[in-house]
Amino acid sequence: MIIYQPLQHSNLHFGDLTRALPDCSRRMLALQLEELIADHVITKTVISLRPLKTEYQLSEFGQTLSPVINAMATWELIIIRLHNRMLDTVICSNA
């Protein structure tokens, strides 16, 4: 889901993805990209220029996942709000 979101808006080079995901190591990002390519969620295009550039984009199949990913992001926000309310309740009852 984390890699999916930046690719929803545009095609990105590997360097763009590393900047968009600063907490992800280059090695882990490369492994996850390989897995998403194998699952046909994203496609990889090697542009034969010097220096060599690689561009990643959502595949047609990957684009169909958009409603699911967006629903999961919304659900995550709801859970965070509920969790914060529960913490507020516990803090207020202990005060």
For residue 47, what are the contacts with CB-CB under 8 A and spacing of at least 6?
A: 53, 54, 55
- Residues 12, 55 contacting (CB under 8 angstroms): yes
Residue 95 pLDDT more than 70? no
CA angle 73, 75, 79 (to 5 degrees): 115
Q: What is the pTM of this model?
A: 0.75
- Of 52, 50, 53, 17, which is closest to residue 36 (Cα–Cα)? 17
Domain boundaries, the chain: 4-94
| Tens digit of each residue's pLDDT (9 = 90 or more) over 53-90 | 889 999 999 999 999 998 998 999 999 999 888 877 76
DSSP-assigned letter for residue 8: T
To the question of domain 4-94 being in CATH 1.10.10.10, the answer is yes
Rounded alpha-carbon distances, angstroms, from residue 55 to 12, 14, 43, 44: 5, 7, 8, 6
